[in-house]
Amino acid sequence: MADPTDKMENIINLCKRRGFVFPSSDIYGGFNGFFDYGPLGVELKNNIKQAWWQDFVHRRDDIVGLDSSIIHHPTTWKASGHIDNFTDPLVDCKESKMRYRADQLFFAPVRVAGETIGYVSVLEDETMQAKAEEMANEMKRKQAKQGALEPLTLKDYTEAKPEEHALIPSPATGKPGSLTPPRSFNMMFQTYVGAMQDASATAYLRPETAQGIFINFKNVVDTGRVKLPFGIAQVGKAFRNEINPRNFIFRSREFEQMEIEYFIAPSADWQTAHQGWIEGCLAWFESIGIPRAKLSLYPHPTEKLAHYSKGTTDIMFEFPFGVQELQGVAARGDFDLTQHSDVSGTKLDWFDEAAKARFIPHVIEPSVGVDRVFLALLTTAYHEDEVEGEKRVVLRLPARVAPFKAAVFPLLKNKPALVERAEALYRRLKKRFNVFYDESGNIGRRYRRQDEIGTPFGITIDFDTIEKDAGVTVRNRDTLEQVRMTEDEVVRFLDEQVNG
Ligand code: GAP
């Protein structure tokens, strides 16, 4: 299973087969860029959101929560800069009608002994350099050119000169002449509010949860619970009309974000606060089961910063399809509060009692996609191994996030005493944890079914349980160790494993 494409295929299949993630609108053939979370997926997703909320809101004194509406007053997006700047460069292939993000379409002139003999183009991925070199060699061979092929330097299509647009082949057809120049494409989904369907009724589905926080800054401050520095956290859906949704739930058109706007005084050292948040987020990922070794940092070059940012570092994760952004940690300065103050005419500032001064706070923003954390956890947890000579798929999900915390089994389903006791334990555990009951098939098969969906513990009621009052066996999914404990001990044990 060394091939990363196989690993993604296996995970996508498992997600569909066991009810983690389905393609959206499956019966209508799916809907590109949208997904539905099934009975197990919704549990894993809720557990991720709950762990994040517990750790960043409930367990801290300096962060409060918010749940704003998804559709804001449309002026929000003018003030925030999204109407003017939230764009991706789009390129169309006139022949195939395919659309690409220009910054994900790479090209290079093919030069042999000082002469340009054509262009090659490839879509961005880990292997694009090798693919482009293969195409260049093929072009040289077909044109029977003698001499050395010069090294290929791939650039993205936004860097192409106007005279090159007609020379770069479309990735769809392999032929030049059909690609348009890049143009800006705004990624916000539009809708209309009210009965009129004209420009005055246009509104937007939020492309980030962040703006809901900024426009509620005054409301939160006025409720009086916060003291600078403090944060406002929000979890919720965001929508982006991505040109090229891809890699399963990694880049979709409807997704969920967990965002914090952490407000600091303008005189505070923002670099230190920014670094503190980067380290805090790395530690959190580790705490929920994403290994540090698979995480890395990508500080954005100054010239590529988003319109609002003084500095952004992405926390990257080694997905099977390459190292990609998991979380962004941005220092947004006072950009957003200043913009909303200026455009709305409502002062969004802070009165510092000690200094008897008013100022607009600056902000550090850790922002992460729930769906990406979900995928990072799944790809980390997915393993294939062998137990007692039988192959198994196992999801080594930590108990805190696993959909089911334990499964309860009577050893045999045709022994009423075993079944009765197992059902009673199941009912007792279910009051506190999400647990599963299964009596069908042999016990090995039942273990395998739970291993595949990441249930960390299998609890079996056997004859010793009822005849000798010898407790139940608790089997550990990862170590395969089986330990006997009383039913009271099981409750304490699960509590420790799930809630820490
Ligand atoms: N408020 C800042 C903001 O939205 P971003 O880097 O555009 O910044 C933050 O998005 C996070 O949201 C990303 O790190 C990623 O985890 C998630 N995200 C962004 N676009 C996504 C998409 N199309 N599909 C899934 N998750 C996405």
User: Mind listing the pLDDT tens digit for each residue in 358-405?
Assistant: 999 999 999 999 999 999 999 999 999 998 888 999 999 999 999 999
Query: By C-alpha distance, which of 404, 339, 259, 332 is closest to 84?
Result: 339
In whole angstroms, what is the distance from residue 65 CA to residue 362 CA? 19
What are the DSSP E strand ranges found in 193-229?
Answer: 202-204
What is the mean predicted confidence (pLDDT) over 453-476? 96
Buried b (16+ CB within 10 A) or exposed e, 76-112: bbebbebbeebebbbbbbeeeebebbbbbbbbbbbbb
The amino acid present at 220, given as its one-letter code, is V
Handedness of CA 219, 225, 231, 232 (dihedral sign): negative
Q: Answer whether 182's CB lies under 8 Å from 107's CB.
A: no
Ligand 1 centroid distance, CA of 329 (Å): 11
The amino acid present at 95, given as its one-letter code, is E
Closest C-alpha to ligand 1, atom 27: 369
Is the pLDDT at 2 greater than 80, yes or no? no
Ligand 1 centroid distance, CA of 500 (Å): 29
Among the atoms of ligand 1, which is closest to the Cα of residue 367? 9
In whole angstroms, what is the distance from residue 154 CA to residue 124 CA? 10
Closest C-alpha to ligand 1, atom 25: 251
pLDDT tens, residue by residue, 27-77: 999 999 999 999 999 999 999 999 999 999 999 999 999 999 999 999 999
In angstroms, what is the C-alpha Rg of the chain? 27
What is the mean predicted confidence (pLDDT) over 174-202? 94
Is the pLDDT at 1 greater than 70, yes or no? no
Handedness of CA 38, 44, 46, 48 (dihedral sign): negative
In a 13 Å sphere around the CA of 287, the CA atoms on its Cβ side amount to 15
In whole angstroms, what is the distance from residue 160 CA to residue 121 CA? 12
Residue 433, both tokens? 């944890």
Among the atoms of ligand 1, which is closest to the Cα of residue 315? 14
Is the pLDDT at 280 greater than 50, yes or no? yes
Is the pLDDT at 165 greater than 70, yes or no? yes
In whole angstroms, what is the distance from residue 319 CA to residue 348 CA? 40
Looking at residue 361, what DSSP letter applies?
P
Antiparallel, parallel or unpaired: β 99-101 and 155-156: unpaired
Report pLDDT for 306. Answer: 81
Output the pTM of the full model: 0.93
If you average pLDDT over every residue of the chain, what do you get? 96
What is the mean predicted confidence (pLDDT) over 232-247? 96
Buried b (16+ CB within 10 A) or exposed e, 421-437: bbeebbeebeeebbbbb
pLDDT tens, residue by residue, 307-366: 788 999 999 999 999 999 999 999 999 999 999 999 999 999 999 998 899 999 999 999
The amino acid present at 254, given as its one-letter code, is E
Residues framing ligand 1 (Cβ under 6 A): 208, 210, 240, 242, 251-252, 255, 257, 259, 325-328, 365, 367-369, 371-372
Substitution candidate for ligand 1 out of 372, 374, 377 with most atoms within 8 A of CB: 372
Report pLDDT for 133. Answer: 96
Is the pLDDT at 83 greater than 80, yes or no? yes
Strand order in the sheet with 482-485: 435-437, 406-410, 457-461, 472-476, 482-485
